């Protein structure tokens, strides 16, 4: 049997690195600027431990484009490299000096903010270059060196002169990559990846980054204004955020960041991908799908974790145990923050509810841990606005009047208080409380929460006549004789014969209640709503006609007048109009039926 190490031939690996290592060519800037930042940070570390005793001076990193000579040059004043170091770190592909440095200095607590890990980043320069040159002078007393390579496995290394300590990387841009010689293109890449790098970065002498973004500071050093200003820096055109959470974890993983709750109102604006992921202040991605729980994707802000590698791939993130922990941590922090505001400043919590309610409900439906916490601060707003109840508070207020025969608390809700005004009015006049359930997630939320909350049932305010919202009641006495009822029933049935989904029901309600009330069964309406929301326009439920009950209030005085009407045609029309008025109030009268109603009304107005 033979054992051995697989040998990688550089002839084979170079084209692979050049072509396939990074699908996005623009990231060469991120890699090289990161190396320059690393070199600068390393020098600072050496100075702080007393190994480097010289002048640090300005430590800016400069990026310059020379269109005429077709070069891009990235220069730093970091530790530089000796000839031996170039040989070790650059000539040996995938031998990372960063890793070695971190290992050496980790006990001093200074190595942690080094970006490079794999020892491949430098080679991304060959994706856009015919030739790359390194001119470097180490901080140690050693001659400057010049390294040159044209992308073949052969390189040249020689002594040269460089006035000062540091490194220049000169890329001779190839014909396919001339776009990178445009100032605008380079600037936008720098702004994307390097906007918050910790060392000043200058593009043609203009600093493009903020080296000390808010999330890298301690919460105690920051004022409300600082947080708001940082939000503005991130999202210049957004409304001010409602509140924020400063994340700061160092065990069992490293994570810092600030998450902002944006103002979003009821409309579920599709502003996903607003959270940016950084690793040691280097921009990685705005695809944070697996790091941030889905229900919090609408949050804005920044997460920075050196535990997430720069070249993240989706499949990597999904499987990573750290990522799952980050996810759980963020959920907990958000729940704790909401709980804190709820307990310490209920008024402000309620003012924000129109924006936060959506998150909270969505979170309660999708995340059991969040549900546990949020159950304490979920509130329901009274239909009149301004009064908010938790479940316990609502139960206290309503259980005397709104507990049904099965012992269940019936929560009466309105999805649109303006449209459902007459029903809200009728319910309120019976002493019921009606709460708002207006957001996009409410239909689904109600279904979920009914399963979770014991002995609670939701009923939309127009699901039945007010008398029957809690329990179906027997008819009250009707003032109509049996004969009169039969006559009226016949007219209603005749008028509605083309609409078999409408069930006519005679009840003796209060004389001042509406003469005809149209209600839609809770069950069927919910099924249809859900089919609509989930886009199943052709599903079985959505194909079914609406199940509508038309309750005729036999005690309304208008029926006495109608029964007295001698003109049979006019009598039919009056009844039809009453039915149409009720349908109209439920937005169920449209098209030709609506036109006919208008014509008929005009005719009836003639004297």
Between the CA of residue 201 and those of 204, 211, 513, what are the distances in Å? 10, 9, 74
3-class DSSP string for 38-93: HHHHHHHHHHHCCCCCCCCCCCCEEEEEECCCCEEEEEECCCCCCHHHHHHHHHCC
Burial class (CB in 10 A: 0-12, 13-18, 19+), 166: buried
CA 25 centroid distance within chain:
29
Shortest CB 98 distance to ligand ATP, Å:
4
Shortest CB 67 distance to ligand ATP, Å:
23
Shortest CB 188 distance to ligand ATP, Å:
22
C-beta of 119 vs 417, nearer to ligand ATP: 119
d(CA 126, CA 134): 13
d(CA 466, CA 473): 10
Beta-carbon count within 10 A of 491 CB? 20
C-beta of 120 vs 516, nearer to ligand ATP: 120
C-beta of 96 vs 331, nearer to ligand ATP: 96
Shortest CB 180 distance to ligand ATP, Å:
18
Nearest residue to 95 (alpha-carbon basis) of 170, 10, 168, 12: 10
C-beta of 39 vs 582, nearer to ligand ATP: 39
Where do we find the tokens 């009330």? Answer: 517
C-beta of 35 vs 439, nearer to ligand ATP: 35
Shortest CB 195 distance to ligand ATP, Å:
19
Shortest CB 120 distance to ligand ATP, Å:
4
Nearest residue to 26 (alpha-carbon basis) of 134, 153, 161, 125: 125
Shortest CB 324 distance to ligand ATP, Å:
24
Q: How far apart, in Å, do the first and last CA atoms of the chain sit? A: 112
Nearest residue to 388 (alpha-carbon basis) of 427, 348, 440, 334: 348
Task: Name the residues that contact ligand ATP, by CB under 6 A.
Answer: 31, 35-36, 39, 76, 78-81, 89-90, 96-98, 116-122, 167
C-beta of 148 vs 547, nearer to ligand ATP: 148
- The pairs formed by 396-400 with CB atoms below 8 angstroms and a separation of 24 or more are 397/433, 398/432, 398/433
Shortest CB 115 distance to ligand ATP, Å:
7
Shortest CB 54 distance to ligand ATP, Å:
16
C-beta of 97 vs 508, nearer to ligand ATP: 97
Evaluate the CA torsion angle 77, 79, 81, 82 in order and state its sign.
positive
Q: Could you tell me if 234 and 278 are in contact, meaning their C-beta atoms sit under 8 angstroms apart? A: no
Shortest CB 41 distance to ligand ATP, Å:
11
Beta-carbon count within 10 A of 13 CB? 16
C-beta of 26 vs 31, nearer to ligand ATP: 31
User: Residue 61 corresponds to which tokens in the numbers above?
Assistant: 């990193």
d(CA 575, CA 587): 18
C-beta of 78 vs 363, nearer to ligand ATP: 78
C-beta of 119 vs 262, nearer to ligand ATP: 119
């Amino acid at each position: 049997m033979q054992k051995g190490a697989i040998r990688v031939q550089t002839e084979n690996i170079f084209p692979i690195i050049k072509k396939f290592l990074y699908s996005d060519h623009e990231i060469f800037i991120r890699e090289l600027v990161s190396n320059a930042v690393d070199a600068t940070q390393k020098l600072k570390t050496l100075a702080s431990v007393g190994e480097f005793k010289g002048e640090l001076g300005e430590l800016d990193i400069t990026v310059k484009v020379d269109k005429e000579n077709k070069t891009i040059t990235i220069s730093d004043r970091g530790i530089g490299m000796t000839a031996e170091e170039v040989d070790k770190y650059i000539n040996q592909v995938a031998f990372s000096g960063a890793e070695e440095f971190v290992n050496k200095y980790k006990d001093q607590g200074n190595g942690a903010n080094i970006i490079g890990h794999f020892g491949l980043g430098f080679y991304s320069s060959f994706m856009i270059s015919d030739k790359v040159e390194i001119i470097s002078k180490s901080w140690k007393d050693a001659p400057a060196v010049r390294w040159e390579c044209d992308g073949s496995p052969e390189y040249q290394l020689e002594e040269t002169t460089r006035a000062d300590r540091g490194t220049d990387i000169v890329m001779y841009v190839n014909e396919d990559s001339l776009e990178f010689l445009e100032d605008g293109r380079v600037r936008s890449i720098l702004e994307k990846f390097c906007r918050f790098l910790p060392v000043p970065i200058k593009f043609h002498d203009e600093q493009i980054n903020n080296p000390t973004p808010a999330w890298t500071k301690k919460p105690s050093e920051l004022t409300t204004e600082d947080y708001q200003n940082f939000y503005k820096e991130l999202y210049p055109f957004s409304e001010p955020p409602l509140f924020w959470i400063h994340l700061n974890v160092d065990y069992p993983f490293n994570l810092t960041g600030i998450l902002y709750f944006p103002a979003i109102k009821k409309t579920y604006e599709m502003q996903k991908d607003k959270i940016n992921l950084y690793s040691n202040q280097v921009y990685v991605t705005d695809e944070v799908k697996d790091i941030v729980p889905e229900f919090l994707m609408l949050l804005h802000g920044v997460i920075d974790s050196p535990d997430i590698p720069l070249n993240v791939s989706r499949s990597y993130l999904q499987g990573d145990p750290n990522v799952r922990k980050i996810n759980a941590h963020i959920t907990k922090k958000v729940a704790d923050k909401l709980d804190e505001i709820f307990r310490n400043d209920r008024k402000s919590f309620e003012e924000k509810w129109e924006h936060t309610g959506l998150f909270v409900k969505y979170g309660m439906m999708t995340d059991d841990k969040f549900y546990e916490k949020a159950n304490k601060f979920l509130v329901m707003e009274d239909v009149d606005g301004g009064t908010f109840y938790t479940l316990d508070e609502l139960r206290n207020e309503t259980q005397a009047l709104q507990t049904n025969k099965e012992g269940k608390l019936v929560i009466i809700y309105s999805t649109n208080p303006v449209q459902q005004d007459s029903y809200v009015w009728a319910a309120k006049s019976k002493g019921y409380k009606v709460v708002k359930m207006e957001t996009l997630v409410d239909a689904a939320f109600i279904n979920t929460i009914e399963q979770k909350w014991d002995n609670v049932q939701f009923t939309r305010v127009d699901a039945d006549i007010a008398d029957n919202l809690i329990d179906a009641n027997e008819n009250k006495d009707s003032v109509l004789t049996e004969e009169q009822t039969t006559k009226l029933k016949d007219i209603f049935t005749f008028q509605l014969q083309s609409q078999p989904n409408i069930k006519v029901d005679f009840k003796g309600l209060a004389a001042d209640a509406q003469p005809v009330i149209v209600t839609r069964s809770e069950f069927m309406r919910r099924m249809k709503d859900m089919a609509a929301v989930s886009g199943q326009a052709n599903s079985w439920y959505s194909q079914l006609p609406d199940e509508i009950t038309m309750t005729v209030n036999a005690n309304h005085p208008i029926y006495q007048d109608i029964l007295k009407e001698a003109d049979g045609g006019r009598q039919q029309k009056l009844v039809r109009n009453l039915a149409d008025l009720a349908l109209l109030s439920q937005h169920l009268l449209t098209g030709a039926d609506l036109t006919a109603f208008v014509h008929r009304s005009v005719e009836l107005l003639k004297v």
